[in-house]
Amino acid sequence: MDHPDYRMVPVRSRHDQLAAVDSRWFRECMTELRQRWTGVSSHRALNPNERRLFAALEAPQPTTSVIGEAPAPDEPSPGKKARVWKQYFRSRRVATPPPAQLYFNVGHTSLNTPEILTSLGARGIDRVVMLHDLIPITHPEFCRPGDGAKHRRRVLTALRHASRIVVNSQYTADELLAFADREKMPSPPIDVAHLGLEPIFQRGQPNGARRPYFVHVGTIEARKNLAFLLTIWRRLHEKMGDQAPRLVLIGRYGWENEAVLDHLQRSPNLQGLVHQVENLPDTALADLMNGAQAVLAPSSVEGFDLPAVEASALGVPLIASDIPAHREMVPQATLIDPLDGLGWMAALEAATRLRPVAPAYSAPTWKSHFQSIEDHLLPPLAATATAG
């Protein structure tokens, strides 16, 4: 929005057509979001549940687990309806797109049908689409029923009608090219631009005041392999007894997570050892990550895995699954096959007894991300300053 050479016009999709978003409202939303990401507005007091979590981690013996309430099936997330209506009333249908040379779609929305991209193409506007992963296509068993077919339509729309595609990792690029090959379709040019990190993710000091614990950050969903991790934790308790470490799952409940909920709510071995919270303020999240023996990332598949990158940037030891995205983004981590239960057991037990030393890590930055975007996509637009 603040680039001196380009003019950015915010739009969103509604009923397969573009809708113009109120520029002032959009700028206010982006300013607030930036403040949250950079830590300016993240200093809020802990709520009672979060205070219970920190007290439980500091207790000499396991207490009652701190577990957030799981949403009812098909229940919309709090505030979602209000946000949708706010956007609805602050946007209006665009009969004709504003004068522009480039349309940049950074999400997966509005790709279910080709109308928006084809109408823009007919007006000579380049269409750049960012794809974050192909997981619903390559691993539909980890997603909600129907998501695989929906995402396939989106990716086919991007391949057929985008001028260029941006992806967040080389692994995502490889999966996209393999998908195009299976569909016997040509692909537009693909650019890899690793996502950046915010300034708050800087190396911190370990907090040694608590008993050993580990942290997992991310939505509680099937592909995160958390049912496997909780099974490992039960075995750790059986083997180590009172010396077993604690585990904190930081993230909201997602989908296809029934096995995880069964462990959290019904396993007696995990009571007092495993905790779950969501929406922690950034300061509390950084404190928990810095104090952990290691951050854990046992996912079966990832397109990028931002929490693993953030942990590495903080200088926190990382134990992660040996999958392509982790080999690309966090090769310095302790990488273990996501099905190797004995390997995970050994690594966790060793890290409990002696906190590993995190290797040096060069984190991707937003500066390099946007420099890549500018180098590959925007130079032709600078002369006219009409990027939309």
Task: Tell me which of 147 and 206 has the higher pLDDT.
Answer: 147
Judged by average pLDDT, the poorest of 17-21, 69-73, 223-227, 256-260 is 69-73
Inter-residue contact 324 to 190 (CB < 8 Å): no
Q: Which residue has the tokens 């390099």?
A: 368
Q: Encode pLDDT of 35-94 as tens digits.
A: 777 666 656 677 888 888 888 888 877 778 888 776 665 555 444 555 555 555 565 665
Percent of the chain beyond pLDDT 70? 86
In a domain, 99, yes or no: yes
| Tens-place pLDDT, residues 128-158 | 999 999 999 999 999 989 999 999 999 999 9
pLDDT of residue 83: 56
**Same structural domain, 164 and 136:** yes
On the 0-12 / 13-18 / 19+ scale of CB atoms within 10 A, 152 is middle
Please indicate, yes or no, if residue 176 is contained in any of the structural domains: yes
Residue 167 belongs to a domain with what CATH number?
A: 3.40.50
User: What tens digit of pLDDT does each residue of 172-185 get?
Assistant: 999 999 999 999 99
pTM: 0.88
User: Residue 212 belongs to a domain with what CATH number?
Assistant: 3.40.50.2000
Higher pLDDT, 43 or 351: 351
**Any domain includes 88:** no
Same domain, 283 and 324: yes
- Quickly state the pLDDT bin for 206 (edges 50, 70, 90): low
* Residue bearing the bigger pLDDT, 134 or 207: 134
Give the range of the structural domain holding residue 152, as residue numbers without chain letter.
11-34+94-196+366-382
Q: Quick one: pLDDT band at residue 244, thresholds 50, 70, 90?
A: very high
The residue with greater pLDDT, 117 or 253, is: 117
Same domain? For 253 and 185 the reply is no
Helix boundaries (H) for 73-190? 80-89, 115-122, 135-138, 147-161, 170-182
In the predicted structure, residue 387 carries a pLDDT above the cut 50: no
Structurally, how many domains does the chain consist of? 2
345 and 257, same structural domain? yes
Residue 41 lies in a domain: no
Q: What's the confidence (pLDDT) of residue 298?
A: 98
Show Cβ contacts of residue 260 under 8 Å, excluding neighbours closer than 6 positions. 220, 226, 227, 230
Measured between alpha carbons, how far is 35 from 52 in angstroms, rounded to an integer? Answer: 27
Residue 70 DSSP symbol: P
Q: What percent of the chain has pLDDT over 90?
A: 53
Q: Which tokens go with 382?
A: 């600078």
CA distance 116 to 365: 31
